[in-house]
Structure 1
Amino acid sequence: MIDYITEDRLSQFMKSAFIEDVGEGDHSTLASVPANQQGNAKLLIKEKGIIAGLEMAKNIFNFYDPTLEVTLLLNDGDAVNPGDIGLTVAGSAQSILTTERLVLNCMQRMSGIATKTHHINELIKHTEAKLLDTRKTTPNFRMMEKWAVAIGGGQNHRYALYDMIMLKDNHIDFAGGIAEAIKATRSYLEDNQLDLKIEIETRNLEEVKTVLAIGGVDIIMLDNMSPAEMKEAVLLINNKYVTEASGGIDESTIAAVAESGVDFISVGALTHQVQSLDISLKAV
């Protein structure tokens, strides 16, 4: 299991989600379906893509009703086609109906993210560059979105603000410049006995040269540069630091960016510009 996916975080998310969706009760189901009614349902895939969220679905079903019998017929990360069945669930019909929408909301979005991640990864597989996600995620749904990126073959960047230092343009400007930002950061880490990697954003080749002259960082971000500028920056850096390309990179530009020689490419669109995969839960 990925380290940011913990039992506590999963439980907290599911509890909050059920409070939001069910509240005092699923009155539609309570009114129409007898409490002792048993049933079976299948998760039907209706669109080609990469499936993600099956393990999450099992967690949701059993968090709400531990007596539900969930059988996973596919694995997260599998390629799927219309007509495939991802899982079956059997037990209380009321429980199946009440959990249906939360399961589908999670799986549809996670599968959309995994599908997009896989597609973009295919565009750069001829290079050594690795695809990263960002913090451009849905509030309170980051864990599942980053999980989906990993399922789709991407790599997770920092999970949140606390696990890495990233000095972006506004940090640098408010700090008074690149040198001031790096110096203050290193002092802060030393004073607080923190062992965190430092990444710094550069916007042009002059800023890259400034960082190289100062040192004291782990990763240099090349932000909104052209592929030609990135290639020149990579030559300047000469493997002294890890490089990350960022800024408005999409399917039409990512191959050229990857071919510039950067180590990583972060793409916010993996999580904030995604079409959900068409999936449904059907009674059997």
Structure 2
Amino acid sequence: MIQKIINRVLNKQKSIYIAETQIRFNGEKYYEDIIETQITNKETLIGLGRGVELVFENGKPLKAYQYYEEMQRLTVYSRIKERELQPDEKQYKLPAFKINYILKFEENPNGFHQLGGNFSNEFKVPINNCCVPFQYLGFINNEDENFKWLPFKLHLTCPIYLNFEQIFLDYSDDSSPVILNLEDVEICDTSFNEVKKDSVIIFEEQRFDFKKSVEYSGIIDSGMPNWMQGQYIPTCPKSGRKMKFLCQLHNGPKMKSSNIVPEGDWNKNYFDELNFCGADLYVFFEPISKVACYFVQYT
């Protein structure tokens, strides 16, 4: 073991760890954006049970390893196997990078951040003519050291019962955001006949913090996205810049009050607590233009 470490030092070996399996090291922008977003440490790959390690020697790719999990007799084991480098990957240059950590939800009555709550004088509903209303989802507070890159405390809102593809909100006025792709959003329909324009649903307030982890909470997480369908890093329509991952919501606090009458027991599940109809809601933000992007991915 000691000799192996000495050899790595002498040969100037260095590894990078990417928390994705479908990745190519060929310099294409699509993959470079993913690498920047998903680059992490070895412990996270082991914790997640998936990812790729790329080993460099003297600045050039030497080997690649696939991290995965295997079940044997009801026990899950962490495995690593060598992954063949393709010809166009052998000249890949070691990127300058900042390690991303999973920031996991941890409930705290005095926490920096909040799920649920209601619109107020501090934050108003975006003006729209959608067939269903926007819901208030909570806020991410830039007083947290992890979110100093945000220009202000960011209030989250989204019409969670609308069949939208993506929504871009301009927070130039952080108390009253504007929908940039308003026409696209307003033509979307809903799968819930019981939800109307004047429907109201408010979720209980739940304060929390984010804590570094090697696994996701399945409630709200930050630091590094956990893709349900495939990697998608949006571009800001206002500035043309790549947007930065803010958070991913799976579910949240219970319903506090509502005037929605569910059509049946199955639909009732979608109103009992903050959720996204079997999907995860992703939020990205571009801090210079102050634009957020909301979209969902289904499992």
TM-score normalized by structure 1?
Answer: 0.26
Indicate the structure (1 or 2) with the bigger Cα radius of gyration.
Answer: 1
Q: Which structure: greater strand fraction? A: 2
Q: Which structure: greater helix fraction? A: 1
TM-score normalized by structure 2?
Answer: 0.25
